[in-house]
Structure 1
Amino acid sequence: MYNKIDWKRKLSSRKFWAALVGFITALLTAFNIADAVAVQVAAVIMAFATLISYILAEGFIDAKDAGSDTINHIYTENYKEPRE
């Protein structure tokens, strides 16, 4: 009946962050907060959104790579034993 919210998808959505910035700047305007402060708050939120999106995207890529059938080859043709 009720589906769980996919927070990874939500937090990496540009639409979500744009809506959040719009909501918060509207609240700041409603409470007569200076425009410069509203711009700074919006900038901080978007910087945070960029960071979160990057972290989630990299995590997704790493998780996808971990499940692949890729084999890492280590070549030892020119390997020399260390001297003691």
Structure 2
Amino acid sequence: MFKNFVWPAKLKSRKFWLAVVGAFLLILKEGLGLEIDGEAVLAFAAIVLGYIFTEGYIDAKNL
């Protein structure tokens, strides 16, 4: 399963970095208690998930 897993390639992935930024945003809001609007977090999460799923679908079709 992880035979072809290469960290340098993952670190160049826009999908990976968007997921990291999304997780960081949630940590800022929930973990540190910063006042970030919940609707803004949900809107960002929806955009990130839409992008990740779309790019994943395109990547899967190219295999």
Report the TM-score, using the length of structure 1 for normalisation.
0.45
5+ residue gaps in structure 2? 1-5
Question: Residue 41 in 1 paired to residue 30 in 2?
Answer: no
How many residue pairs were aligned? Answer: 51
Q: Which residue, 5, 9, 15 being the options, matches 2:8?
A: 5
Give the aligned partner of residue 3 of structure 2: none
Q: Which consecutive unaligned segments of at least 5 residues does structure 1 have?
A: 61-84
TM-score (norm 2): 0.57
> Amino acid of the residue matched to residue 32 of structure 1?
E
RMSD: 2.9
Which one of the candidate residues 45, 54, 58 is aligned to 1:55?
58
Q: Percent identity?
A: 22
Deviation at 1:11, TM superposition (A): 6.5
Identify the structure with the greater helix proportion.
2
